[in-house]
Amino acid sequence: MSQEKLDRRNFLTRASALTAATTAFSFEEQSLLAYQQRREMQPSAVAAPGSMPMGKLGSLQVSRLIAGHNLVGATAHSRDLIYVSQLLRAYFTDDKILDTYKKYEEAGINTAFLRVEARQLKLAKRYREECGGKLQWVAQLVINEKDLTHDLDLAMELGVQAAYVRGLEGDRFFKAGRLDWIAAAVEKIRSHKIPAGVGSHLLDTLIAVEKEKIPADFYFKTFNSAKYWSAGPPLPQDPNWRPSRTELVQSEYAPGNHDNLWETTPAQTKAFFEKVEKPFIAYKVLGAGAILPRDGFDYAFANGADFISVGMYDFQIAEDVNITKQLFAKKLERTRPWRA
């Protein structure tokens, strides 16, 4: 037996003895114990045999689990912890990022999101040219009313396979009443003969985009159950509420302009996509790390997502891939037809 397993067993044995003697564990200690117990019951994190579930995004064959870009980009929604981005920068060295990309592919993930900034572009190019990597890249585009093409031009120099308008801009332009900027950006992406998407945190944005018939090829929307403690309880629904220009649906949870809630309308998001025939890529499916992967993945796929985007440390990849395979092996029960 490995030293690591011995150490873990010793920890669990001591923890169990302490539990019998006292209930004075802190919240942090209880969480650590629960995590260790789950890990003890799981097989070692090696990607299980069998093909990765796939779907279509335009003409692209895309793994149902897509790698997110926040962690490798040294950015994480960390609630009120001020050190997390610094920790990520220390952990994700250039070599670690390249190795993480390799682990994606080895585990069956063939597509990753890409932030269009100098370091990430450089490493994506290195991965392709020096490591022989074949990942497909979906570029996140930051646009503004004066420049719709800067990020797109850089992304196309790399040769990305798809691109989308970032959610922050999608929401901002919706609230400003400037859906024409979203439409123009989508057209510019499509002019390169690649799938074009619109990202959002707000369901209102996508409702407006659909109403205006903006020809996006896919949507990229936050989606989770909001069932974790820092999300707070559901809001009581106001029977007298009426839509306005900047608020088309009534929030089901607290306003999402803080760092611990990224889906304020889960039930309405599900209902919206029931009627939408375009592919739906869900992100923030784990509530920025607050929801267990099995629960978050199951919720997203069962309630309509065609793909999920998940930020992963290298040591989480195999487990996340295995969960995805297991969910599809059991034939997910969903009312929305697969749109990809």
CATH code at position 149: 3.20.20.70
Cβ atoms of 73 and 117 within 8 Å: the answer is yes
Specify burial of residue 144 (Cβ count, 10 A radius: 0-12, 13-18, 19+): exposed
23, part of any domain: yes
Looking at the structure, tell me whether residues 78 and 10 fall in a common domain: no
337 is a domain residue: no
The answer to whether 247 and 204 have CB atoms below 8 angstroms apart is yes
Helix, strand, or coil (residue 66): strand
Q: Say if 103 falls within a structural domain.
A: yes
Considering the domain architecture, whether residues 176 and 137 belong to the same structural domain is answered as: yes
The pTM of this model reads 0.88
Q: Give domain status of residue 336, yes or no.
A: no
Going by C-alpha positions, the residue among 318, 275, 331 that lies closest to residue 39 is: 318
pLDDT tens, residue by residue, 279-297: 999 999 999 888 999 999 9
Indicate whether 70 belongs to any domain: yes
The pLDDT value recorded for residue 142 is 96
Residue 284 falls inside a structural domain: yes
Please work out, in degrees rounded to the nearest 5, the angle formed at the alpha carbon of residue 81 by the alpha carbons of 77 and 83: 95
pLDDT at 9: 53
Q: Are residues 152 and 16 in the same domain?
A: no
Token pair belonging to 322: 């295995």
Give me the residues of the chain with pLDDT under 50, please: 4-6, 11, 15, 17-22, 40-41, 43
Of the candidates 268, 267, 310, 304, the one whose C-alpha atom is nearest the C-alpha of residue 289 is: 310
Three-state SS at 25: coil
pLDDT in tens, 205-258: 999 999 999 999 999 999 999 998 888 889 999 999 999 999 999 999 876 555
- Residue 339's pLDDT is 97
Q: What pLDDT is stored for residue 24 in this prediction?
A: 57
Residues 146 and 33 in one domain: no
Query: Do 126 and 10 belong together in one domain?
Result: no
Residue 22: what pLDDT? Answer: 44
Is the domain of 126 the same as that of 161? Answer: yes
Number of independent structural domains in the chain: 2
Residue 335 lies in a domain: no
- Quote the domain boundaries for residue 10: 3-41
Note whether 28 and 172 are same-domain residues: no
- DSSP-assigned letter for residue 213: T
* Alpha-carbon span 101 to 204, nearest angstrom: 34
Same domain assignment for residues 254 and 323: yes
Residue 339 lies in a domain: no
Contact 129, 137 (CB under 8 A): no
Count of all residues that appear for the chain in the document:
340
Q: CA-to-CA distance for 129 and 114, rounded, in angstroms?
A: 17
Does one domain contain both 29 and 60?
Answer: no
Helices (H), 132-274: 150-158, 167-175, 179-190, 203-211, 266-274
Q: Are residues 25 and 154 in the same domain?
A: no
